[in-house]
Amino acid sequence: MKRKSFSEMPYHLMLLPGVILVLIYSYGPMFGLVIAFQDFIPANGFKSDWIGFDNFTYIWSLPDTMNVLWNTIYISLMKIVAGLIFPILISLLLNEVNKSLVKRSVQTLIYLPHFLSWIILGGILIDILSPSEGIVNKGLQLLGIQPIFFLGNNDWFPYTVVITDLWKEFGFSTIVYLAALTSINPVLYEAAIVDGANRWRQTWHVTLPGMIPIIVLLTTLSLGNVLNAGFDQIFNLYSPQVYESGDIIDTLVYRLGLVDAQFGPATAVGLFKSVVSFVFISVSYLLAYRLANYRIF
């Protein structure tokens, strides 16, 4: 027994540096969440006065809180649904393409935006969606449509966010589905043809069932994002005039905490989000494990 634990020593040593870093920078902040229950004053550090749930009641008393929560869920749900359906459709269409040059070129172009940051894409969008000089509104004008302030109008902002997020991410998901499609056994198609199935029926009876596992997996995993409406994107596209429709939990935490220095209330909101997300992510992993036999490690 003693000899065995000695032979495990190198493994412990290999893990040691990383474990220490995770302990400090991932577990440290978890303990730092106590600020949510304190009247936090930076000079006093974590020895600030305990005030129980006062920060939470303060947040609930703010008029915008419910609205922010609603915006977060509304935008993230639209993103989840659009981000699942559209890529499935495109991968099915791409699967029907026989010319490999076309297939590869399309793939190459559609997932390029995925690798660019929201700073770059935000800069591009602010330019092309500008109501005065943006090319999109120039195009709409040719069609006789009045300029639309996509990023400054509360009726448009949430949908602009969802569509532009789709622009960035659909190509990436499409490739994931396409990878699943190409792993479908060709024998199944041959059998379907022998049974007299045309292309539509092949898609319906062979391709779609073959995609079900990956669809179930990605759907369940996306559940964990219900409170993630996309900080990087919204932070770079929003402005005070669209707070009503576009302010989300993460942007609120940023402004409360790092702009207004209200550390206690900001951490309270963050804690709320972490706890709810924990439940959603755990449930989504559990579902993925049960339904799609997915294991993290």
Residue among 118 and 149 whose Cβ is closer to other proteins = 118
Structure tokens at 5: 């634990």
Residues facing residue 107 across a β-bridge: none
Residues facing residue 39 across a β-bridge: 49
| Nearest distance in Å: CB 34, other proteins | 9
Residue among 71 and 228 whose Cβ is closer to other proteins = 228
| Nearest distance in Å: CB 23, other proteins | 9
Contact 267, 257 (CB under 8 A): yes
Residue among 71 and 164 whose Cβ is closer to other proteins = 164
DSSP 44: G
Residue among 27 and 60 whose Cβ is closer to other proteins = 27
Q: Name the phi and psi angles at 137, rounded to 5.
A: -70, -30
| Nearest distance in Å: CB 99, other proteins | 8
| Nearest distance in Å: CB 162, other proteins | 16
Residue among 81 and 112 whose Cβ is closer to other proteins = 112
Amino acid of residue 87: P
Contacting residues for 146 by C-beta, under 8 A, at least 6 apart: 140
Contact 36, 270 (CB under 8 A): yes
| Nearest distance in Å: CB 134, other proteins | 9
Residues facing residue 50 across a β-bridge: 38
